[in-house]
Amino acid sequence: MKITTAEVIVTCPGRNYVTLKITTDEGLTGLGDATLNGRELAVASYLRDHVCPLLIGRDPQRIEDMWQYLYRGAYWRRGPVTMTAISAVDVALWDIKGKAAGLPLYQLLGGASREAVTLYAHADGRDVPELLDRVAELVEDGFQAIRVQVAVPGLDKTYGVSGGPPGTFYEPADGRIPAEQRWETGAYLDFAPTMFEAVRERYGFDLHLLHDVHNRLTPVEAARLGRSLESFRLWWMEDPTPAEDQAAFGLIRQHTVTPIAVGEVFNSIWDCRDLITNRLIDYIRTSVTHAGGITHLRRIFDLAHLYGVRSGSHGAGDLSPVSLGAALHVDLAIPNFGIQEYMGHAPGWDDVFHASYWREGGYMHPGEDPGIGVTLDEEAAGRFPYDPKSLPVCRLRDGTMHDW
């Protein structure tokens, strides 16, 4: 079998997605998600200008060799743009392998280790009563694990809060130039326990609660937050500090038993290694789209398994339905699955993408279609042209640049 074409499709059904489509001389096609939110065209160019020409004529069945060829074969390697491109190639080749075998991808990964994939959904509120209403809707819908985010009183915009109904929080909403948000750590640290207190008071401890700090704290502030939330028994506290400084997690760990999840911006096993082997985190958030595709993500999850760390893949709406489909196959198959983030996609996504995956309450399944089970209607994709958007930036009250 040989690869005959490799095309990059950029489309915006509600938000921007970059999809790689690989076609073989036997007429099989495979899709891979290449979306890097706010930097979409950089990956599209890396693929079109530097990777696609290398693929033509190569054997799509040699997935591991292709991965090594694109990773080790590039002198300038790693980084989000390169690794998102490699991920897309890898996922597209697994899609083709599944179709060639006539099997859903999870069967090629060793078969199902569970009946379905447990999800966590997002609830947010402009205030605590609004959060409680959103949580109620999600509980009604069958979710047993919910991420909660509430606007911090006194801040005009808080990460993760849209005020819309469940599933409508889509970062970002702004144009080419990033919106500027202000941040006040003291107000957040004082306020955070009150939202969990309110949810626990209403729902008790049956519901799993998660929270994304989104890199806003210093290590000792994160330690204080984790400690102040211990009695609410979170499933996890996500990205408490920016993860470039990995030794910082040792400090957080010394002070709190609130579980920690990190890694949605990680691109390779090298980014994860120290946090995992030093047992500084409980969940690894790497995704199929940004951490080297199925081939490399499995390698990361296997390392994590050795150290009792479970998966908790990033699944925001800026990862495409192709990404979600691929993630569900991995989630179903691996021994150390933890939880899968589920945000859904903007209304109208299914005009362009068609997916075999299905959801029932708080569970999903990738479906039984051969390969990944997600297809793209190119004619429909053409009706939704690229719409440049940027993620926000964040400053402290005095104007100092901070982490968004």
Binding site for ligand EZ4 (CB under 6 A): 37, 171, 212, 214, 264, 314, 316, 318, 391
User: Which of 159, 188, 342, 363 is an active site residue?
Assistant: 159
Least Å from the CB of residue 101 to ligand EZ4: 32
287 to 326, contacts with Co ion by CB under 5 A? none
Pairwise CA distance, residues 36 & 200, whole Å: 36
Is 214 annotated as catalytic? Answer: yes
CA 33-36-39 angle, 5° bins = 140
DSSP code of residue 337: B
Intra-chain end-to-end CA distance of the chain, in Å: 45
Q: One symbol per residue from 191 to 220: x for binding Co ion (CB under 5 A), - otherwise; what is it?
A: ---------------------x--------
Is 357 annotated as catalytic? Answer: no
313 touches, from Co ion, ligand EZ4, none (C-beta below 5 to 8 Å by class): none
256 contacts: CB under 8 Å, gap ≥ 6:
223, 226, 227, 230
Could you tell me which of 285, 226, 291 has the C-alpha nearest to residue 259? Answer: 226
- Sign (positive or negative) of CA dihedral 316, 359, 374, 372: positive
Pairwise CA distance, residues 404 & 401, whole Å: 9
316 touches, from Co ion, ligand EZ4, none (C-beta below 5 to 8 Å by class): ligand EZ4
Cβ closest to Co ion, residue 90 vs residue 212: 212
- Tell me which stretch binds Co ion (CB under 5 A): 14-22, 84-92, 116-124, 260-268: 260-268
Least Å from the CB of residue 260 to ligand EZ4: 14
Q: Amino acid identity, residue 312? A: G
Cβ closest to Co ion, residue 212 vs residue 282: 212
Least Å from the CB of residue 193 to ligand EZ4: 21
Cβ closest to ligand EZ4, residue 124 vs residue 369: 124
The pair of three-digit structure tokens given for residue 198, joined into one six-digit string: 């309110």
Q: Is 124 in the site for Co ion (CB under 5 A)?
A: no
Cβ closest to ligand EZ4, residue 271 vs residue 318: 318
37 touches, from ligand EZ4, Co ion, none (C-beta below 5 to 8 Å by class): ligand EZ4
Cβ closest to ligand EZ4, residue 314 vs residue 329: 314
Pairwise CA distance, residues 201 & 126, whole Å: 19
Pairwise CA distance, residues 283 & 237, whole Å: 10
Pairwise CA distance, residues 163 & 133, whole Å: 11
The pair of three-digit structure tokens given for residue 360, joined into one six-digit string: 């029932």
Cβ closest to Co ion, residue 98 vs residue 226: 226
318 touches, from ligand EZ4, Co ion, none (C-beta below 5 to 8 Å by class): ligand EZ4
Rg (CA), the chain: 20
CA 89-95-97 angle, 5° bins = 105
User: Which of 214, 290, 345, 365 is an active site residue?
Assistant: 214
Residues in touch with Co ion (CB under 5 A): 212, 264
| Residues involved in catalysis | 159, 214
